[in-house]
Amino acid sequence: LAKKAKKTGAVVVMGGYHATFLDREAIDTGGVDFVVRGEGEYILLELANALEHTGDVSPIKGISYRADGTFVRNPSAPYIHNLDKIPFPRRDLFPREKYLSLYQDRPMTTMVTSRGCPFDCAFCSASRFGGLKWRTRSLDSILDEMEFLLNQQYTSFLFVDDNFTLNPKRVIDFSEEVLRRKWDIRWWCFSRADTVVHNPEMVRKMAGAGNRTVFLGLESASQSTLDEWGKKITLKQQQQAVRILKENGIRVYGSFIIGDLHEDQKMVRQTIRYARQLNPHTCQFSVLTPYPGTRLFHELREKNLLRTFDWREYDGIHTVIKLEHLNPDELNKLVRRAYRKFYLRLSNLPGLLKSILKKPGELKLVIGEFISGVKIFRELKKKRFHSGKKSMESEKEILKRA
């Protein structure tokens, strides 16, 4: 896509997680003129102004490029501390009818209310991209954007903050203000299990203010694996969190990761059983993927334990780690087993019917979640792998530049 754009004579700028951590590789493809590293709002504006007026990009922090054939990585730009100054996204430029809504006919949009993460989970690059310091927008700024969106007929919101509930008081204040304004909204967010357990009052307020789904990174049935990944939560906290959310009528989207370096069939099956026991409303099973920028990626690369550097396989489905006890086909079968065992359970039907009868307006959401799980299972069954193919570039060259 970048190369096609470049053929038109356009200046091609790439940003985001992958380009930030592998900026040299992105530039070396020949299809990218500049990489904006990290938070790009002000950097991109400064770059556009420089290209339009002076052409001199050397003073701009946070960009990578080539000058006279030499790769240049300018110093990093500071994080944006006052997030309130960032303008609201121009959602009117997008065809709203083409975007999915999780809540029946309620138009949905995404929102970001904070950046950064004080945790450093081994498989996640959020803290290395957005910093370990958590930065948040003011409550007024968040509510102003929501009011603006409500006036455009958006009534459901997907908060994509890495950890929306990190400050429970902020969430309580937000929920109380939504209730005070009598907004008829639905919303979805990410949280940690321990935050839920330690703040049941926050959860009650969230439910009253329209929260319908919480995403929990449950990850594994092994406490030692959770500790190894730096999750800083316990299995007991996971169990308590799922129970508390359910008691407050909030749907639980549980995420599990399988395929750790040391896992064998018995350990993976244990996680599958654990997921069934916890019984979140929706379950996601991903293959452990060491994305560039994560602690896991650097550790495995140093130990020569990565099978490939073909980024097409870094998708949460393919096996890219040289596992000690499982081969890719075995792990693929286990992922398929996980989805089959979780979603195709007759014992789950009574609870499902009860949920639908209690909240008939969310029938579409329940059906959508089930269909999503079946689709993933079918994709896995097709075994759409290209692990035997060679990467577009040699691993040696990528390692040299990364």
R_g of the chain computed on alpha carbons:
22
Average pLDDT over residues 284-290: 97
Q: Is 50 exposed, middle or buried (0-12, 13-18, 19+ CB in 10 A)?
A: middle
* Residue 350 banded pLDDT, cuts 50, 70, 90: low
More confident residue, 364 or 225: 225
Give the list of residues 6+ apart from residue 139 with CB closer than 8 angstroms, or none: 170, 173, 174, 177
Tell me the pLDDT tens digit for each residue of 362-378.
Answer: 666 666 656 655 555 55
* pLDDT score, position 362: 60
Average pLDDT over residues 82-109: 87
* Residue ranges covered by each domain of the chain: 2-73, 83-382
Average pLDDT over residues 251-278: 97
State yes or no: pLDDT of 206 exceeds 50.
yes
| CATH, domain range 83-382 | 3.80.30.20
- Amino acid identity for residue 307 in this structure: R
Q: Strands across the sheet with 63-67, in order?
A: 13-14, 34-36, 63-67, 70-73
126, 32, 42, 51: which is closest to 77 by C-alpha?
Answer: 42
DSSP letters for 329-342 = HHHHHHHHHHHHHH
At 283, which helix (H) or strand (E)? strand 282-287
Tell me the pLDDT tens digit for each residue of 119-139.
Answer: 999 999 999 999 999 999 999
89, 64, 88: which is closest to 77 by C-alpha?
Answer: 64
State yes or no: pLDDT of 358 exceeds 80.
no
CA distance 192 to 199: 11
State yes or no: pLDDT of 251 exceeds 50.
yes
CA distance 30 to 14: 12
**Mean pLDDT score of the chain:** 90
Tell me the pLDDT tens digit for each residue of 31-85.
Answer: 999 999 999 999 999 999 999 999 999 999 999 999 999 999 999 999 999 999 9
Query: Is 43 within 8 Å of 57 (Cβ atoms)?
Result: no
* pLDDT score, position 179: 98
Give the list of residues 6+ apart from residue 249 with CB closer than 8 angstroms, or none: 207, 358, 359
**Quick one: CA dihedral 204, 206, 209, 212, positive or negative?**
negative
* pLDDT score, position 6: 87
Average pLDDT over residues 376-382: 56
Alpha carbon dihedral 398, 258, 325, 268, in 10-degree steps, equals 180
Cα angle 262, 267, 270 (rounded to 5 degrees) comes to: 160
**Quick one: CA dihedral 119, 82, 204, 184, positive or negative?**
negative
